Structure 1
């Protein structure tokens, strides 16, 4: 007997298959326990889909320049805080509990060599669904992602001693009222002297205590974008934020003084471009942060990233002033302006 295939029968079969699938899902019989693992075919298929997706989207959604080799200290500090427990680190095995995830986080010293820089950038920025790999912890910070790409790329050849050099500082003074190890954790990036151990790590020494405490609060609340600092600040109590701010503010470093006149934007601004002088806000006695003597690389990096935040258009809103002002600074003047401020230390 020949069964005639018609559209109605095809639709009926598809509807029956859909209903059977939904019934199976509703029954709860589908095994979702991580301990059950995947069938080999399922594991291959999911990984195959993921690799193809990363290749496709990284081709269209990543910039050409996706690696910054100058920020290994801050990237290493973030890796130690947020990544090493799952992926392990040079000389450090991953947390056995985290390895019970399905799928378990791969050894990046091996896995990262299988991806291009642009693919690593995309994975770090966007994460991967159903794998436990989160998206980057702060939107609009491609500079942080670029530094992490460079760090992850080094893992295949990094020794335990090199990892410790990047992520740890020598033992420094303790601060009364703070739990053991907290100051050492901060010093891994900021140094025991508060001057920053890398070109992308800002000088905290001498900065205003109120500004530092406010910055920590904003990082912890997600109101200031930085995956690195949000991770560090999230674990701090209000008292710890206050004590840490006072600790760094008391160190010799930045000073509350007039900005130098070595660059016209510092003291004169550009009226035709509605660009006020830096000194109109960052003058002695004002509530704004101290910038004279800050690292040139850090200043230039922040101005460049603020320029890319085109969603903010109203400079009168809280914390929206700098993105608007940064877009008005001629791009060719960012580095000279940053160097003039750094030279004032």
Structure 2
């Protein structure tokens, strides 16, 4: 038994030392244009999905079908999300091909509201997804979640219409969409 424990301890030390040498060597390419191996990608995918599920469990979802809440979320989405997640009828842009992992096109599916809230608020490490909770309150984040529930049902024309009706917000940069509101130039950062 004593020999087994010594062997186990030595094995653990060797594995830890090996991992340390691997990390310090820098041989693993973390460039966004060098995709992970299938096993590493599967591990990262499982870790991300389980972490989001776990942390979103206790979140209480408010009423999300309020038209004003959805309108506010439409404006927020147009200002902050379309560069990575696109919009109905929007073509790929220069940035998306260089993102890894590639952000989902949110007009193609309806995310779980609790999970969407958690991801928007906290972001995702080692991805381009920022933690919007650092600069936006929960009510604003819930408006984005409310809009995401409606987004898959919108045609390109309906999307443009709802964004045009969205309330102005001094914190939003419309990424050059100056016709979103007549006074959009006043709201530039």
C-alpha displacement of 1:85? 0.8
| Distance in structure 2 (CA, Å) of the matches to 1:140 and 1:167 | 19
Q: 1:36 aligns with which of 18, 34, 37?
A: 34
Distance 1:140 1:29 in 2: 38
Does 1:146 find its partner at 2:132?
no
Are the aligned partners of 2:64 and 2:70 in contact in 1 as well (CA < 8 Å)? no
Residues paired across the two proteins, number: 177
1:189 aligns with 2:167: yes
Partner of 1:63: 60
CA distance in 1, matches of 2:151, 2:38: 29
Find the residue that maps to 1:230 and give its secondary structure: coil
Question: 1:122-141 alignment to 2 at 5 Å?
Answer: 122-138=118-134, 141=137
- Between the aligned partners of 2:115 and 2:49, the Cα distance in structure 1 is 9
Task: Pick closer, same or farther for the CA change 1:65–1:189 going to 2, 3 Å.
Answer: closer
- What RMSD over aligned residues (CA atoms) do the two structures have, in Å? 2.7
User: Greater RCO between the two (CA within 8 Å, min separation 6)?
Assistant: 2
* C-alpha distance in structure 1 between counterparts of 2:85 and 2:11, whole Å: 46
Query: Displacement, 1:94?
Result: 3.7
Residues 96/232 of structure 1: CA separation in 2 closer, same or farther (3 Å cut): closer
CA contact (8 A) 2:57 2:114 kept: yes
- 1:157 is aligned to 2:153: yes
Mapping of residues 152-301 of structure 1, within 5 Å: 152-168=148-164, 189-190=167-168, 229-232=170-173, 244=186
TM-score normalised by structure 2 residue count: 0.80
Cα distance in 1, alignment partners of residues 16 and 132 from structure 2: 36
Map Cα deviations across residues 30-55 of structure 1 (whole Å, 9 max, x no partner). Answer: 11111111222222221122111111
1:54–1:163 Cα change, 3 Å: same
Equivalent residue, structure 2, for 1:97: 95
The separation in 2 between residues aligned to 1:34 and 1:66, in whole angstroms, is: 38
Please give the TM-score of this superposition, normalised by the length of structure 1: 0.46
Aligned pairs for 1:68-87 within 5 A: 69=66, 70-87=68-85
CA distance in structure 2 between the partners assigned to 1:44 and 1:21 by the alignment: 19
Larger Rg: 1
* Partner Cα distance (2:48, 2:85) in 1: 19
Q: Answer yes or no: is the 8 Å Cα contact 2:70–2:143 preserved in 1.
A: yes
Partners of 2:7 and 2:38 in 1: how far apart? 34
1:200-247: CA deviations, max 9, x gaps? xxxxxxxxxxxxxxxxxxxxxxxxxxxx643439x9xxxxxxx949xx
Distance 1:28 1:164 in 2: 46
Deviation of 1:67 (Å):
2.6
Q: d(CA) in 2 for partners of 1:95 and 1:18?
A: 42
Equivalent in 5, 12, 15 of residue 14 of structure 1: 12
The whole-number CA distance in structure 2 between the counterparts of 1:64 and 1:81 is 24
Q: 2: distance between equivalents of 1:143 and 1:50?
A: 25
* Structure 2 unaligned spans of 5+: 177-184
